[in-house]
C-alpha cells in the first residue's frame, strides 16, 4: 500500500497545488514512485489523458512534477462550471451530466465508491500519494458528507498539513481559526502547519509562530517564501487576468465569462519582451499584435457576450490587419455558424463571426483525444510554422466542417489522416491571417511559439533581444526543480518523512 500525506488550505488560493507539486518533485528526486491525487476539482482548465479521458490541469501539472504520465485516477471528479449555479459533472473522465450545485451537494456521497476505486488504482503506480484538498476544511456549509478535505483524509487515514497564505494577510487567524472549527478527530489529523508566500525576513514571525504552536498544539513545519514561478494555478483564482503591461510584442486574449483552457497561452508568458493580456472590453483591447480567442465552456453564450459588448465588432475590424487565432470554442466562433440542435448549450443556432469558412454543429458526445503531428503547408503570415511538430489534445462538443464555396483551406495539419470534409486541425482563411484549431497545447512544443513571436516582430520591424526560446516543457522542468529546492530549504522535510513512515491505509 502507498504511503499518503495530504495538503489542505485555510482558503482557496493558499498555495496547495504548488506545494503538492513541490513535494511530488522532492519524493521523485529521492527515488520514490510518487503520484498526486485530488478527489474533486472544480476547473475549466482540463486535459485529455492518453486514455482519452478528461481530468483537471492542476493534477496534470503535479504529475509532470512527479515525472509520471497523467492518469484520470488522479482526479476522479471534475466539475466544470456551466453557470453561476451549475456544473458539468465528469466522473473518472466521462461526462455524467449537468447538475445544479444543490443537486450535486445532495448526491455527492454516491461518488465515494468511484473515489475509492480511483485511489486504489493509483496505489498500483505509487509508493507515495500526495493528496490535495479543496478550499478550506472549515467551510461549515460544505462539511456535511465531505469528500475532498477531512472526509477524504478519513477515507485513507492521511496525515494533514494545513497551509495558510500570509501574502493576503491574517495568516495566524487563518490557521488558528481553521483548527478551532475542526472537530477533535479532525484536529488530530493535522500534523503540521505551513505559512506560505512570505516576503521579507521570516524571523519577524517568530512570536507569531510560538503563539501558533502554543494555542494550536500543532508544530509549524516551515515558512515558505513567495516564489516567482509561472507554473499553472487554479483557473478560478489566477492573477494573470490582471496583467496590463504591454510588451514589445503584445498578445490579447479575449476573456469571456466561460473562458477555458487558457493554459494554451502560458508558454508566451515565459518569453521576454512579450505581454499576454486578458481583455474583457473594447477599451482594454487596444492595438495588440495578435488576438487569441480561447476555449469556452459555453461557446454560444460567450459569442453573444462578445456581440453585446462590442468585442466581436472590434475583432472583426482588426481582421486583415492583426492576426487572429481561435482555439477550440474560439475556433468555432470564428466560423460562419454554430448550430445546437440537441440543446447541448443554449439550443438553436447562431451566426458566427464569419471569419473562417467553417460551420460547427454541437453534439451530445464530447470529442476527446490526444493528437500529435507535423504542421504541413501553413500559408499566410505564419507560413514559418510549416514543418513544425506538435503535441496536444482535443476536447470539444462539436463537429466542424468546411462551408466555403470550393471547400479549400490555406493551412492544415496531417491532412491525410483527417476526413476530407473535416476541419479538425489548424485552418486559415484566404488572407492567411485568421487561424483556427481544436488542438490545446499546440504552442507548447518546440519552436512553434517562438516562430510566431519572431514573425510578429518582423511584421513590426523590430528585433527582440530574447534570442532562441526554449521548449516550454524544458522551462517547466527547471521550475519544478526550483520549487523542490525551495521547499527543501524552508520545510522540515525530516518531519514530513516521519509522518509518511507512520501513515497507514485503512
Is residue 340 a contact partner of residue 347, using CB atoms and an 8 Å limit? yes
pLDDT at position 85 is 81
Grid cell 487569441 is found at 292
Distance CA 104, CA 70 (A): 26
- Position 236 scores a pLDDT of 54
3-state secondary structure of 334: helix
Query: How confident is the model over 408-420, as pLDDT tens digits?
Result: 444 433 333 344 3
H-type alpha helices, 182-281: 184-189, 206-216, 266-269
Distances (CA, A) of 198 to 171, 193, 226, 251, 488: 10, 14, 5, 31, 16
The 3-state secondary structure of 280-299, one letter per residue:
CCHHHHCCCCEEEECEECCH
Instruction: Say what the pLDDT of residue 469 is.
Output: 72
**Mean pLDDT on 97-122:** 93
d(CA 337, CA 371): 26
pLDDT tens-digit map of 374-407? 887 788 899 999 889 999 999 988 888 887 665 4
- Residue 466: pLDDT band by 50, 70, 90 thresholds? low
Q: For 45-82, write each residue's pLDDT tens digit.
A: 899 999 899 999 999 999 999 999 999 999 999 999 88
> Inter-axis angle of helices 171-181 and 206-216, to 10 degrees?
0
pLDDT at 106 over 60: yes
Distance (Å, whole) CA 358 – CA 436: 10
Q: How far apart are the first and last CA of the chain?
A: 10
Instruction: Give pLDDT tens digits for 251-272.
Output: 999 999 999 999 999 999 989 8
Rounded-to-integer distance, Cα 2 and Cα 13, Å? 28
Average pLDDT of the chain, as a whole number = 89
Mean pLDDT of 240-250: 85
User: Which residues are annotated as catalytic?
Assistant: 328, 440
DSSP labels, 86-101: EEEEEETTEEEEEEEH
- Closest by alpha carbon to 176, among 10, 416, 415? 10
Question: Helices 299-309 and 311-318, interaxial angle, to 10°?
Answer: 80
The tens digit of pLDDT for each residue in 409-450 reads: 444 333 333 443 344 467 877 778 999 999 999 999 888 999
Least Cα distance to 163 among 85, 223, 245, 79 occurs for 223
The predicted-structure confidence for 80-97, as pLDDT tens digits, reads as follows 988 778 899 999 999 998
SS3 385: helix
Give the C-alpha separation, 160 to 6, whole Å: 5
Amino acid at each position: 500500500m502507498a504511503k499518503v500525506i495530504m495538503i489542505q488550505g485555510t482558503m482557496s488560493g493558499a498555495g496547495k497545488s504548488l506545494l503538492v507539486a513541490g513535494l511530488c518533485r522532492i519524493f521523485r528526486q529521492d527515488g520514490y514512485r510518487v503520484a498526486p491525487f485530488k478527489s474533486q476539482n472544480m476547473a475549466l482548465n482540463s486535459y485529455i489523458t492518453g486514455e482519452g479521458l478528461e481530468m483537471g490541469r492542476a493534477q496534470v501539472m503535479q504529475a509532470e512534477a512527479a515525472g509520471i504520465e497523467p492518469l484520470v485516477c488522479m482526479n476522479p471528479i471534475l466539475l466544470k462550471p456551466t453557470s453561476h449555479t451549475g456544473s458539468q459533472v465528469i466522473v473518472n473522465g466521462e461526462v455524467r451530466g449537468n447538475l445544479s450545485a444543490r443537486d450535486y451537494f445532495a448526491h455527492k456521497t454516491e461518488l465515494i465508491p468511484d473515489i475509492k476505486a480511483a485511489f486504489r488504482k493509483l496505489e498500483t503506480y505509487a509508493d507515495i500519494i500526495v493528496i490535495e484538498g479543496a478550499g478550506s476544511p472549515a467551510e461549515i456549509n460544505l462539511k456535511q458528507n465531505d469528500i475532498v478535505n477531512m472526509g477524504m483524509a478519513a477515507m485513507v487515514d492521511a496525515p494533514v498539513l494545513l497551509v495558510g497564505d500570509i501574502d493576503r494577510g491574517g495568516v495566524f487567524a487563518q490557521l488558528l481559526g481553521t483548527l478551532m472549527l475542526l472537530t477533535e478527530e479532525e484536529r488530530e489529523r493535522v500534523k503540521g502547519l505551513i505559512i506560505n508566500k512570505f516576503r521579507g525576513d521570516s524571523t519577524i514571525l517568530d512570536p507569531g509562530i510560538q503563539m501558533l504552536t502554543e494555542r494550536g498544539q500543532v508544530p509549524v513545519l516551515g515558512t515558505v517564501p513567495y516564489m516567482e514561478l509561472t507554473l499553472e494555478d487554479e483557473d478560478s483564482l489566477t492573477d494573470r487576468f490582471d496583467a496590463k503591461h504591454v510588451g514589445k510584442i503584445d498578445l490579447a486574449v479575449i476573456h469571456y465569462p466561460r473562458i477555458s483552457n487558457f493554459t494554451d497561452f502560458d508558454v508566451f508568458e515565459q518569453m521576454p519582451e512579450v505581454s499576454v493580456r486578458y481583455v474583457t472590453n473594447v477599451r482594454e483591447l487596444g492595438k495588440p499584435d495578435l488576438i487569441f480567442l480561447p476555449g469556452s465552456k459555453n461557446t454560444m453564450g460567450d459569442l453573444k457576450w462578445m456581440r453585446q459588448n462590442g468585442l466581436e465588432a472590434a475583432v472583426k475590424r482588426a481582421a486583415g490587419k492583426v492576426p487572429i487565432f481561435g482555439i477550440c470554442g474560439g475556433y468555432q466562433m470564428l466560423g460562419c455558424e454554430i448550430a445546437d440542435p440537441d440543446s447541448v448549450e443554449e439550443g438553436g443556432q447562431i451566426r458566427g463571426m464569419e471569419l473562417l469558412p467553417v460551420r460547427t454543429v454541437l453534439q451530445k458526445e464530447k470529442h476527446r483525444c490526444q493528437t500529435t503531428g507535423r504542421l504541413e503547408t501553413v500559408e499566410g503570415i505564419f507560413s514559418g510554422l510549416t514543418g513544425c511538430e506538435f503535441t496536444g489534445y482535443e476536447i470539444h462538443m462539436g463537429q466542424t466542417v468546411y462551408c466555403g464555396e470550393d471547400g479549400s483551406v490555406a493551412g492544415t495539419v496531417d491532412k491525410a489522416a483527417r476526413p476530407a470534409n473535416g476541419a479538425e486541425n489548424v485552418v486559415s482563411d484566404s488572407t492567411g491571417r485568421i487561424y483556427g484549431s481544436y488542438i490545446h497545447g499546440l504552442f507548447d512544443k518546440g519552436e512553434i511559439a517562438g516562430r510566431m513571436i519572431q514573425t510578429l516582430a518582423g511584421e513590426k520591424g523590430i528585433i527582440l533581444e530574447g534570442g532562441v526560446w526554449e521548449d516550454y516543457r524544458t522551462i517547466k522542468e527547471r521550475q519544478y526543480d526550483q520549487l523542490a529546492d525551495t521547499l527543501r530549504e524552508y520545510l522540515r522535510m525530516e518531519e514530513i518523512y516521519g509522518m509518511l513512515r507512520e501513515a497507514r491505509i485503512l
